Amino acid sequence: MAPTLALVGATGAVGTVMIDILNGRSTWPWGEVRLVASPRSAGKKITVRGQELTVQALAPEVFDGVDVAMFDVPDAVSAEWAPIAAARGAVAVDNSGAFRMDDDVPLVVPEVNRDKIAVRPRGIIANPNCTTLSMMAALGALHHEYGLRELVVASYQAASGAGQDGIDRLYAEAAAVAGKQVGERAGDVREALAAAGLSGDSPFPAPLAFNVVPWAGSLKEDGWASEELKVRNESRKILGIPDLKVSATCVRVPVVTTHSLAVHATFERPVTVAEAHKLFEAEPSVVLVDDPAAGRFPTPADVVGGDPTYVGRVRQALDFPNTLDFFVCGDNLRKGAALNTYEIAEALVS
Amino acid sequence: MAPTLALVGATGAVGTVMIDILNGRSTWPWGEVRLVASPRSAGKKITVRGQELTVQALAPEVFDGVDVAMFDVPDAVSAEWAPIAAARGAVAVDNSGAFRMDDDVPLVVPEVNRDKIAVRPRGIIANPNCTTLSMMAALGALHHEYGLRELVVASYQAASGAGQDGIDRLYAEAAAVAGKQVGERAGDVREALAAAGLSGDSPFPAPLAFNVVPWAGSLKEDGWASEELKVRNESRKILGIPDLKVSATCVRVPVVTTHSLAVHATFERPVTVAEAHKLFEAEPSVVLVDDPAAGRFPTPADVVGGDPTYVGRVRQALDFPNTLDFFVCGDNLRKGAALNTYEIAEALVS
């Protein structure tokens, strides 16, 4: 019998993208699909591959008979419910941060470490943070050939990394500020937001429209943001390099969806731009767009909505041996969240 | 007799900011001020410190009797006219890229290398590129104490770095796109721009509203953008470190004015966050805003329109010895252009 798939968090920002992915796949190993959400969303009808499904309220019984349960919910909900799903016999594939760094939970990017899905003592597999994920396919391809040693990363993270609230906030701010001259005096943007009744209650700690905000996540030791430590710790775990040197600075930018990263990566062996291009071209989940003479490089506006990671601006560092600088863009709701989760789910039953 | 100051390019984007700076200074060593521009702008009236001045057309005679001539004009205009001003006895302080890397032209940031203004064999002093300038005061303070060795930089550059055309373009794009759902499918932003008649003729090589564009300047060898090489070469010259290791990735963001940079800086000696804070606090042209627990870090919206460089997010790198990661914001039209040019001019007559 074809396996049963459950999607927990079917009505959230990532869940909505997951429905698109389910509808759009050319492969389909599943029999039944169950959509699950909070009691507030239960009863809602959503069409998946031509079938109208009714969203069920989260409860232990919904996992009975489920083979793979994908979780696109906040950390606390995953922490409570993924073990319940596993106890009922499902493999839980979790997109939250609840289990990522647990030693007995594999953290998987199928292109990079697909073999890790086989050993899952708790019945849980974790999906990486969206910022880390946006560069993993590209870095994994390079690491496999050249041995990654060091990583200095600066991010350009989209509003939707903060969920639907983040998207709504950026649109509201942009509408309040557009048409105003907001680039001349400190406080112009804040004034325009205040005039539109938008001075408080944002998922971001500063205005995002016509601004950039060097903060993502919560405060950890010594001034680091949780998102920056995730990039470090998750990259080490996924790539299997426990002593990988990493410095990340995470910055939110006024883009709705698609995270970008400026990557400075140092390897054990010399690597040329031509060799890197060849590896990127050979990796099906990476699209190489690197022809600045023709004005071609990846930008979020051209990447959003698709599955692949786009890579460009590949340069050999002039002063650092064995080092490449490049720029990468990935849809943070797709490969950065829903798509990678689904790819793990599909790998489990393939 | 009090010295005479000329401003060439008085009606451009940087020239307009320069007028604000002239009007706002608490010190004033000058007697006569002459405003100069292209013949097209000649005759225009501009008030400087209460006096209505008439803009004169650029011609050799306008430099007669001038002590310091500040140039805020394109490279080609500076290349032709700064030597003419120098030949007529003025010191030319040039904000273009025409002379910056010439061995017989000092490249000056007064906080860092003020002593270099004394030796100017051609009568020309160059003002650095705005991206480099945005981090120089902060880096200079650290370098003086700890010896800078390596620099990995990612920029978040404002539209006004491309002049008034860049500002106008970002406002036009934002107005065309605001209110539309542009973050779901690749091409949404381009479609919205096309619908508003904005599909071509931009100073940027891709849409900038709701997007980031990993390109600034022109294409140089091996895929590097001219702006990225300027950051490398100008940092080396200003700081007096000919073998400084530098990798920069320059990215345009939808901010009107104020460049930001994520800086990863490695020194000869260990430096703590507390020591760096102390140096930043002691540097009058730097404002330290570094209290993430209270949601305080520099953002362009809070920095634009002012003179100082703002620094925050100072962290000791976890895996790289003697290395700090930090975030810096500077108004690219003020300290990044007009203000630094004016500070050089004032230093020449002080």
Pairing of strands A33-37, A5-8: parallel
Cα A128 to Cα A341: distance, rounded to the nearest angstrom = 9
pLDDT at B133 over 80: yes
pLDDT at A51 over 90: yes
Q: Is B264 a catalytic residue?
A: no
pLDDT at A220 over 80: yes
Mean pLDDT of B263-271: 98
pLDDT at position A168 is: 93
pLDDT at A308 over 80: yes
Measured CA to CA in angstroms, residue B45 lies from A144, A347, B36, B37, B59 at distances of 65, 72, 11, 12, 18
What value does the mean pLDDT of chain B take?
A: 96
| CA torsion through residues A199, A203, A205, A206, sign | negative
Amino acid (1-letter code) at residue B108: V
Contact B286, B191 (CB under 8 A): no
pLDDT at position A22 is: 97
Q: Is A250 a catalytic residue?
A: no
Structure confidence at residue A315 as a pLDDT band (50, 70, 90): very high
Separation of first and last alpha carbons in chain B: 14
Q: Residue A247: what are its φ and ψ, rounded to 5°?
A: -125, 125
Tokens 């891709």 belong to: B206
pLDDT at position B279 is: 98
Show Cβ contacts of residue A25 under 8 Å, excluding neighbours closer than 6 positions: A342, A346
Cα A307 to Cα B181: distance, rounded to the nearest angstrom = 20
pLDDT at A184 over 90: no
Q: Cβ of A313 and B249 within 8 Å?
A: yes
Q: Cβ of B295 and A206 within 8 Å?
A: yes
- Chain-centre distance for alpha carbon B111: 15
pLDDT at position B194 is: 94
Rg (alpha carbons) of chain A, rounded to whole number: 21
What value does the mean pLDDT of chain A take?
A: 96
Chain A residue numbers touching B213 (CB-CB < 8 A): 297, 299
Contact A69, A39 (CB under 8 A): no
Closest CA to A303 of B204, B207, B215: B207
Q: Cβ of A327 and B249 within 8 Å?
A: yes
Three-state secondary structure string covering chain B: CCCCEEEECCCCHHHHHHHHHHHHCCCCCCCCEEEEECHHHCCCEEEECCEEEECEECCHHHHCCCCEEEECCCHHHHHHHHHHHHHCCCEEEECCCCCCCCCCCCECCHHHHHHHHHCCCCCEEECCCHHHHHHHHHHHHHHHHHCEEEEEEEEEECHHHHHHHHHHHHHHHHHHHCCCCCCCCCCHHHHHHHHCCCCCCCCCCCCCCCCCECCCCCECHHHCEHHHHHHHHHHHHHHCCCCCEEEEECCECCCCCCEEEEEEEEECCCCCHHHHHHHHHHCCCEEECCEHHHCECCCHHHHCCCCCEEEEEEEECCCCCCEEEEEEEECCCHHHHHHHHHHHHHHHCC
Q: Cβ of A253 and B256 within 8 Å?
A: no
Q: Diameter of chain B by CA atoms?
A: 65
Cα A166 to Cα A151: distance, rounded to the nearest angstrom = 28
Cα A10 to Cα A16: distance, rounded to the nearest angstrom = 6
Collapsing DSSP states into helix, strand and coil, what is residue A202?
A: coil
Mean pLDDT of A70-92: 97
Mean pLDDT of A288-306: 96
Kindly name the residue from A143, A250, A259, A329 that is annotated as catalytic.
A259
pLDDT at B192 over 90: yes
Cα B306 to Cα B152: distance, rounded to the nearest angstrom = 26
Mean pLDDT of B127-133: 96
Contact A6, A62 (CB under 8 A): yes
Collapsing DSSP states into helix, strand and coil, what is residue A199?
A: coil
**CA-based nearest distance A238→chain B, Å:** 18
Amino acid (1-letter code) at residue B122: R
Query: Has A34 been labeled as part of a binding site?
Result: no
| H or E element that contains A172 | helix A163-177
Crossing angle, helix B226-239 and helix B130-146, to 10 degrees? 40
Structure confidence at residue B181 as a pLDDT band (50, 70, 90): confident
Collapsing DSSP states into helix, strand and coil, what is residue A72?
A: coil
Structure confidence at residue B269 as a pLDDT band (50, 70, 90): very high
Cα A319 to Cα B234: distance, rounded to the nearest angstrom = 15
Interface mutation target, options A220, A272, A319, chain B, most CBs of B under 10 Å: A319
Cα B335 to Cα B285: distance, rounded to the nearest angstrom = 9
pLDDT at position B199 is: 84
Cα A128 to Cα A120: distance, rounded to the nearest angstrom = 16
Chain A residue numbers touching B188 (CB-CB < 8 A): 301, 304-305
Q: What angle do CA A116, A117, A118 make, to 5 degrees?
A: 90
H-helix segments, A283-325: 300-303
Mean pLDDT of A313-326: 98
pLDDT at A216 over 90: yes
Number of residues that this document lists for chain A:
350
Structure confidence at residue B183 as a pLDDT band (50, 70, 90): confident
pLDDT in tens, A120-139: 999 999 999 999 999 999 99
User: Is A108 an interface residue toward B (CB < 8 Å)?
Assistant: no
pLDDT at position B200 is: 79
User: Is B136 an interface residue toward A (CB < 8 Å)?
Assistant: no
pLDDT at B348 over 80: yes
pLDDT at position A200 is: 79
Contact B345, B163 (CB under 8 A): no
Show Cβ contacts of residue A40 under 8 Å, excluding neighbours closer than 6 positions: none
pLDDT at B178 over 90: no
Chain B residue numbers touching A177 (CB-CB < 8 A): 174
Interface mutation target, options B21, B257, B315, chain A, most CBs of A under 10 Å: B315
Cα A315 to Cα A301: distance, rounded to the nearest angstrom = 23
pLDDT at A154 over 80: yes
pLDDT at B102 over 90: yes
Collapsing DSSP states into helix, strand and coil, what is residue A330?
A: strand
pTM (predicted TM-score): 0.96
| CA torsion through residues A342, A343, A347, A349, sign | positive
pLDDT in tens, B298-325: 999 999 999 999 999 999 999 999 999 9
Beta bridge partner(s), residue A245: A150
pLDDT at A179 over 80: no
Structure confidence at residue B60 as a pLDDT band (50, 70, 90): very high
Separation of first and last alpha carbons in chain A: 14
Amino acid (1-letter code) at residue B207: P
Q: Diameter of chain A by CA atoms?
A: 65
Crossing angle, helix B13-24 and helix B163-177, to 10 degrees? 100
Q: What angle do CA B299, B301, B305 make, to 5 degrees?
A: 110
Structure confidence at residue B1 as a pLDDT band (50, 70, 90): confident
pLDDT at B164 over 90: no
Tokens 């009090």 belong to: B2
pLDDT at position B163 is: 87
Q: What is the ipTM of this complex?
A: 0.95
Rg (alpha carbons) of chain B, rounded to whole number: 21
Structure tokens at B283: 């540097």
Q: Which of B182, B247, B273 sits opposite A319 (nearest CB)?
A: B247
Contact A306, A285 (CB under 8 A): no
Class of residue A182 by CB neighbours under 10 A (exposed 0-12, middle 13-18, buried 19+): buried
Tokens 């419910």 belong to: A81
